[in-house]
Amino acid sequence: MGKRFDAGAQVGVVIVGAGPAGLVLGNLLLARGIECVILERRDREAVEGRARAGFLAAHSVRLLTEHGLGAGLLARGRPHGTCLFRSEQGEFTLGYGKLGQGEVHTVYPQQELARDLLAEYLRRGGEIRFGAEVEEISEGRVRVRGAEDVAGRYVAGCDGHRGVGRGALAAHGIRTARWDHGVTWLAVLVEAPPSLAAVGYALHDRGFAGHMARTETVTRYYLQCPRGTDPAQWDEDRIWTELATRLRTDEFGPLHQGPVLEKTVVDLRSDVLDTPGTGRLWLAGDAAGLISPSAAKGANLAVLQAERLAEAFTEALTRGDETDLARYASYCLPRVWRAHEFSHWMSGLLHGPSTDDPEARYGRALQYARLDSLRTSRAHQDFFAENYTGI
């Protein structure tokens, strides 16, 4: 699809994976005159239809807009600058868009962003091969099951934390730092308008519950659940009953209900590679580091990394200068770790112990002390706002 390269020819960059990182990278490379091809194991319908995160930070919006990739989000995205917290202490709303750096999020479902990016990539003449299952990456050569190998001067692994790109980099002895937050969410997508005017975080003895608007007719909810939970155990009645309990609808009003479109289980885990690449293989997005969804950082880190990698590849391919590639890790990792620190902090704020022993009671008391500090301290609020919307 798009421009076809001859079998056996070497392109500038082979991109493995058509998520946000791969599609942004492909578009930026084409804009710089760099030939590339994207290999994606799924079909086009799956790429354009997978419902994922929908919160774009101001930096991501600026970057996409500056590079001609923001028409859809500017037309259909919705600015969002408030979040609210509910607990046994009541409810308070935080207008983070007027705190910190004064930046807001843009709510734009990731599947819509993927459609925009893919359409623009093809309009620019890019090639993407759907159903291309990559088996191995070695020295710029990508082996595809049942097809000719694809060769590139460089390979960009943008195929997620379980992808072949990360596996190939591990062969170079790259170490991984990882953390299991010990928390699991039931992620539920419902066909119903948002019930709250803001992103909602509910702290409850039964576990965390979250409310995130996606569109005017679709809402994402999260319910903390035990590790190993089978989504099939949660029918619609159970989901709505538990959401009503944890979001305290008896106190704050009912939720808009509708059919459940999707339910999956997400274990909150994080990891970061010591370096996101070496030689001819470089990673971006979840392939370079998996971050828990508790602070909506994943897609935004992917966009930032894709921009930096596009600049580095361009310098290497047009001028033979690999300085920016050598600096890719030193540029990205401080920002990645700052995002992880805030995500880790958010996880501690939202998830309290589930038992009733003395240590658990101590932990829950600390959880509510953090929440009270966020409610009453302007310095704490500015810190939250700056990190919530930033990278």
Same domain assignment for residues 28 and 167: yes
- 96 as an active site residue: the answer is no
Six token digits for residue 239? 């989901």
Count of domains forming the chain: 2
- 263 as an active site residue: the answer is no
Write down the catalytic residue from 201, 221, 222, 328: 201
Same domain assignment for residues 158 and 24: yes
Average of pLDDT values for 198-215? 93
Q: What is the reported pLDDT for 4?
A: 47
Same domain assignment for residues 130 and 170: yes
Kindly state the percentage of the chain with pLDDT values over 70: 97
Same domain assignment for residues 339 and 278: yes
Number of Cα atoms under 13 Å in the Cβ half of residue 375: 16
The answer to whether position 99 is within a domain reads: no
Q: What b/e string do you get for 311-324 counting C-beta neighbours within 10 Å, with b at 16 or more?
A: bbbbbbbeeeebeb
Question: For residue 172, what pLDDT band results from cuts at 50, 70 and 90?
Answer: confident
Same domain assignment for residues 251 and 275: no
Same domain assignment for residues 27 and 152: yes
The answer to whether position 350 is within a domain reads: no
Q: What is the reported pLDDT for 2?
A: 47
Write down the catalytic residue from 20, 293, 328, 344: 293
pTM of this prediction? 0.93
- 105 as an active site residue: the answer is no
Q: Please write the tens of the pLDDT for every residue from 95-115.
A: 999 999 999 999 998 889 999
Mean pLDDT, the chain, integer: 93
Q: What is the reported pLDDT for 374?
A: 96
Write down the catalytic residue from 96, 108, 328, 388: 388
Q: What is the reported pLDDT for 214?
A: 85
The answer to whether position 4 is within a domain reads: no
Same domain assignment for residues 163 and 227: no
In CATH, what number is assigned to the domain containing residue 380? 3.30.9.10
The whole-angstrom separation of Cα 129 and Cα 295 is 33
Which residues lie below 8 Å from residue 371, measured CB to CB, with a gap of 6+? 85, 87, 89, 203, 349
The answer to whether position 98 is within a domain reads: no
Contact (CB, 8 A) for 200 and 247:
yes
- 121 as an active site residue: the answer is no
Q: Please write the tens of the pLDDT for every residue from 322-373.
A: 999 999 999 999 999 999 999 999 999 999 887 788 998 998 899 999 999 9
In CATH, what number is assigned to the domain containing residue 16? 3.50.50.60
Average of pLDDT values for 257-263? 95
Same domain assignment for residues 173 and 65: yes
The whole-angstrom separation of Cα 146 and Cα 134 is 10
Kindly state the percentage of the chain with pLDDT values over 90: 86
| 282 strand-pairing partners | 156, 277
The answer to whether position 3 is within a domain reads: no
The answer to whether position 50 is within a domain reads: yes
The answer to whether position 170 is within a domain reads: yes
Average of pLDDT values for 63-76? 96
The whole-angstrom separation of Cα 323 and Cα 245 is 55
Same domain assignment for residues 317 and 336: yes
- 293 as an active site residue: the answer is yes
CA 361 to chain CA mean position, Å: 32
The answer to whether position 90 is within a domain reads: no
Same domain assignment for residues 340 and 224: no
Q: What is the reported pLDDT for 163?
A: 93
Question: For residue 9, what pLDDT band results from cuts at 50, 70 and 90?
Answer: low
* Single-letter amino acid code for the residue at 216: E
Average of pLDDT values for 50-69? 90
The whole-angstrom separation of Cα 21 and Cα 366 is 37
Q: Is a pLDDT exceeding 80 seen at residue 51? A: no
Write down the catalytic residue from 105, 161, 263, 297: 297
CA 159 to chain CA mean position, Å: 13
Q: What is the reported pLDDT for 5?
A: 46
Same domain assignment for residues 261 and 306: no
CA 36 to chain CA mean position, Å: 24
Same domain assignment for residues 40 and 133: yes
| Residue range of the domain that includes 251 | 181-268+355-389
Q: Which residue has the higher pLDDT, 198 or 233?
A: 233
Average of pLDDT values for 125-148? 95
